[in-house]
Structure formats: C-alpha cells, structure tokens
Amino acid sequence: MNMKTATVALRVFIILFAFAFTIIEPINWKVKEGSYSVSFKGGKIEGILTGLKATILFDEINPEKSKIYASVDVNTINTGNSLKNKHAKAESALDVARFSMIIFESTGIYKKGTDYEAKGKLSMKGVTKEIILPFTFLKKGDEAVFKGKFSVTPKDYNITKMGTPDEVVIELEVPVTK
C-alpha cells in the first residue's frame, strides 16, 4: 500500500469512526391536524377534546432521548350534550374561565417490552401531578401513530362537580408525520 492510499484509507476510517459516534437526535414528529382523537370516558360522562397541540421529539431506538409536550384546549370539549359541555366547563369542574388548557410534559420516556411509557407531569385546573402514560408507536415510512390510554382521578385535580366519576379514562390516537 502506498502512502497516498494509506492516507485516503485513514481519512475514510476517521470519517466512519466519527459518524458512528455522532449524536442521534430524536425525530420531530408533527401531529396530522384533524386526524387525531383525544377521548375520555368515566361514569355517565364521555366525549372528546379537539384542541390538541403537541411537540413530539421521539426516537424509537433511544426513547430516553425523547421529549413530549402536549396541550389540549378545554374549550373544545364535546360530550354530545350542550348542557353537559356547559357543566364540564364550570368552575367546580374544569373551570375553563381560569384554566383553559390541559398540559402534559414528559420527564422521561422508556421502552417497556414492545411498547413505551412516558413519565411526566399532567396539569389540569391548576394542579400538576406525575403520571405514567403507556403508549404504542406504529411507524410506516414517514408516518406513524402514537396510541395511549391512562386514567386520572378528577378529585386529585380539584374537580368536585356533583356527578363527576371517581375515575376518567383518557384515550389518545395521534397520527404524525416527519
């Protein structure tokens, strides 16, 4: 091997070596507007929220590098009944006059078998609690779908309106693109 060939080989090796240790950044997934579903159900209430905004930086291989910040506008609540919608927005319920957003911010994301868990802070009606949000991530090319389901106890968030169930299950289906 001559000196020129050795120099080229060394350069190629250095480039490949450096590339192998390049910091891989999570992908910035964008929510597909109008395609997502945020639903809730508990006791005699059920409905949807449509005001979702989210920043999702997700790496399925290294989920610990990922971050999720999501908010939903409580004014978009729809139970299918205008009187129930009004009651849900009342001060003793979600108090939209003072707290118009429900916010989730991850503090850690972890692989759990073939699925994932996002540990984070859920803020609703001025109260912030730690929760765990189990979810799946199904990717197909430049598109994917996050699906999750978790429960909250309304009383933990100072939701005291008569008729409020002890537990509300929240289901999410969020299609995204790169």
Give the three-class secondary structure for 41: strand
Give the three-class secondary structure for 173: strand
The matching CATH number, chosen from 3.50.50.60, 3.90.1170.50, 2.40.128.110, 3.40.1550.10, for 26-177 is: 2.40.128.110
Work out the end-to-end distance of the chain between its first and last CA atoms, rounded to an integer number of angstroms: 45
pLDDT in tens, 127-160: 999 999 999 999 999 999 999 999 999 999 999 8
Dihedral sign, Cα of residue 42, residue 148, residue 109, residue 35: negative
Query: What is the value of pTM for the model shown?
Result: 0.84
Averaged confidence pLDDT in the chain = 90
- For residue 8, give every residue at least 6 positions away whose Cβ sits within 8 Å of its Cβ, in sequence order, or none: none
pLDDT in tens, 32-76: 988 999 999 999 899 999 999 999 999 999 999 999 999 999 999
CA angle 145, 109, 70 (to 5 degrees): 60
